């Protein structure tokens, strides 16, 4: 009886082990099953092989500007073949609804926004020879009446010349990206001076840096601010004297509670609107006298071009929102007295982070200008205040070039 009972016990144990193994195998198989849907396949090129490399290395959140959501980013494009290709057009499509493009950028846009690091002096920036690359700075606008797609892809149209002399166009679908949630981070201005402020927001978009071998764009959302007086004048009397500028010496304030993590001081100032800088411009001097605040959540706030010896803080200081940190000046890579302000991701190196989007809590948009119009305004030392069109803005970021009023 005891042997039989033992034999039955052994059989039961073996049975339980087999059942357990089956359960473990099934569980392992379940874990191997894909948890996400397969991405929609892009159309293959009409060339025998793919020759164009295109990708987006960093994608920030869309911002609200000009009554629309705007996504600003850089598309890196490289020709991995020996035959030259010319980029003629870029279309952007919703990955799930690709019947018609949601945006289109033609040759004029590409000429103005296609950077060729190391090759800026070539005749046609759109032409990529073998092993050459470029960076297309894109600003994708989503109107409020249309939903923002979850994923998009890029359709690049390249031209090449065949040995027969015939020109052919090759469409290439590349670079699928997921669009992040729209920015919800709002700040006040980096100064507390009321009045009319001229701003330049677009001129920094292509400011590319290499940090420890990594490409980054810390000034992606940077803005330069210059104050004018009530009659539209930048400077009274001699425009070549910094002290005569309306904006010179204005108190700069902390946009949030934070800690001082970086400063530069004692860089001499430039003569306004001079063709030469007072110091050689390097990565160390480009920001002039500056203050960097760690405002939490992995974000640094940068204030540039301050007056030498005007800094009111030192590294390690804790500051509170609205606290004075220094005075607006004209040091570093600066043509005239103004403050350069931007947010970037936390890094170990000056200008080593990625530009972070934000919104301003409240301002009044008065006018928009082109880049050439802004240059003309500075040359004439006058901004016309006729025919302004005041529009109150809340939780938006000024884009391009323009004039706002701070109440």
pLDDT for 1 equals 42
pLDDT confidence bin for 36, thresholds 50/70/90:
low
In whole angstroms, what is the distance from residue 373 CA to residue 329 CA?
23
Q: Cα Rg for the chain, rounded, in angstroms?
A: 28
Mean pLDDT of 76-82: 96
Distance CA 189, CA 363 (A): 9
Q: Reply yes or no on whether the pLDDT at 28 is more than 80.
A: no
More confident residue, 294 or 4: 294
* CB contact at 8 A, 357 and 186: no
* Under 8 Å between Cβ of 87 and 174: no
Average pLDDT value for residue range 164-192: 96
pLDDT at 61: 96
User: CA 239 to CA 7: how far, in whole Å?
Assistant: 105
Domains of the chain (ranges; CATH) run: 52-178 (2.60.40), 186-406 (2.70.70.10)
Q: What is the mean pLDDT of residues 104-125?
A: 91
399, two tokens: 């884009």
Please give the pLDDT value at position 13: 44
Q: Write out pLDDT tens, residues 194-235.
A: 999 999 998 898 899 999 999 999 999 999 999 999 999 999
Mean pLDDT of 29-42: 59
Supply the pTM of this predicted model.
Answer: 0.87
Mean pLDDT of all residues in 56-64: 96
């Amino acid at each position: 009886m005891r042997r039989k009972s033992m034999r039955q016990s052994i059989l039961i144990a073996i049975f339980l082990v087999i059942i357990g193994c089956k359960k473990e195998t099934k569980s392992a198989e379940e874990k191997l099953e894909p948890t996400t849907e397969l991405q929609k396949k892009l159309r293959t090129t009409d060339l025998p092989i793919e020759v164009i490399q295109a990708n987006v290395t960093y994608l920030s959140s869309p911002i609200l500007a000009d009554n629309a959501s705007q996504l600003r980013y850089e598309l890196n494009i490289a020709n991995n073949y020996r035959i030259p290709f010319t980029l003629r057009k870029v279309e952007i499509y919703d990955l799930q609804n690709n019947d018609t493009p949601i945006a289109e950028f033609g040759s004029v846009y590409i000429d103005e926004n296609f950077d060729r690091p190391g090759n800026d002096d070539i005749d046609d920036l759109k032409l990529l020879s073998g092993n050459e690359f470029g960076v297309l700075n894109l600003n994708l606008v989503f109107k409020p009446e249309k939903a923002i797609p979850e994923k998009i892809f890029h359709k690049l149209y390249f031209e090449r010349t065949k040995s027969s002399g015939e020109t052919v166009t090759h469409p290439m679908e590349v670079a699928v990206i997921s669009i992040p949630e729209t920015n919800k981070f709002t700040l006040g201005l980096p100064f507390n001076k009321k009045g009319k402020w001229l701003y330049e927001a677009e001129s920094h978009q292509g400011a590319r840096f290499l940090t420890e071998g990594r490409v980054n764009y810390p000034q992606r959302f940077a803005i330069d601010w210059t104050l004018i007086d009530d009659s539209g004048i930048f400077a009274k009397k001699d425009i070549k004297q910094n002290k005569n500028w309306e904006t010179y010496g204005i108190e700069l304030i902390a946009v949030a509670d934070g800690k001082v993590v970086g400063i530069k001081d004692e860089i001499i100032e430039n003569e306004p609107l001079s063709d030469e800088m007072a110091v050689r411009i390097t990565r160390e001097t480009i920001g002039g006298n500056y203050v960097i605040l760690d405002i939490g959540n992995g974000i640094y706030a940068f204030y540039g071009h301050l007056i030498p010896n005007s800094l009111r803080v030192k590294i390690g200081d804790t500051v509170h929102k609205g606290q004075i940190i220094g005075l607006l000046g004209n040091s570093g890579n600066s043509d005239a007295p103004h403050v350069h302000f931007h947010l970037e991701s936390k890094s170990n190196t000056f200008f080593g982070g990625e530009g972070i989007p934000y919104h301003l809590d409240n301002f009044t948009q008065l006018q928009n200008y082109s880049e050439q119009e802004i240059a003309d305004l500075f040359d004439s030392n006058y901004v016309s205040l006729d025919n302004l069109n005041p529009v109150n803005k809340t939780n938006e970021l000024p884009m391009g070039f323009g004039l706002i009023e701070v109440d």
